[in-house]
Amino acid sequence: MSRHKVPTENPATTFAVGWDTPLATYFAQHFTEPADLDDDPEELFWLGGTPCELPTTEDLTAALAQYGAALPAGLLQQLDADRLAEGAHFNGRPATVLIAAAALDAANPGQADRIREQLRGAL
């Protein structure tokens, strides 16, 4: 799994993107920084939390555009390199297989097709 912090205009927030190998998806997380150590961060958005949700950097870019966020080209290239280095499969990950099977009912048709393809390769 990779994770890269992305600078934001607001220092009170944290924005990170990366490749989640077990779920075979890119992700993006944007949170507020808690003002107090006893407080929890507030999630502004979290994309790529389900199997095969954002399988390409193009999918990640399109999802981020809905929030008015964009990534530098160099970071997109690094994310592609992360995916290639770490792989994109469910093989050897029994928990991911269970999570993916459970996610099928809620997945959109394209995501469901990608999950089924991954499950065929993992069984």
Q: What is the DSSP secondary-structure string of the chain?
A: ---EEE--S-TTEEEEEEEETTTTEEEEEEEEPPSSTTSPPPEEEEE--STTSS-SHHHHHHHHHTTT----HHHHHHHHHHHHHH----TT-HHHHHHHHHHGGGS-HHHHHHHHHHHHHH-
Would you say residue 29 has pLDDT above 70? yes
Helical pair 94-103 and 109-122, crossing angle rounded to 10 deg:
150
Tell me the two tokens of residue 76: 């997109």
Q: Kindly state whether residue 81 falls inside one of the protein's structural domains.
A: yes
Q: Residue 7's pLDDT is what?
A: 81
Instruction: Identify whether 62 is part of a domain.
Output: yes
Domain membership of residue 68 (yes or no) is yes
Identify whether 113 is part of a domain. Answer: no
* pTM of this structure: 0.86
Residue 28 lies in domain: 4-88
Number of domains in the chain: 1
Q: What is the pLDDT of residues 51-99, one digit of tens each?
A: 999 999 999 999 999 988 889 889 999 999 999 999 888 878 889 899 9
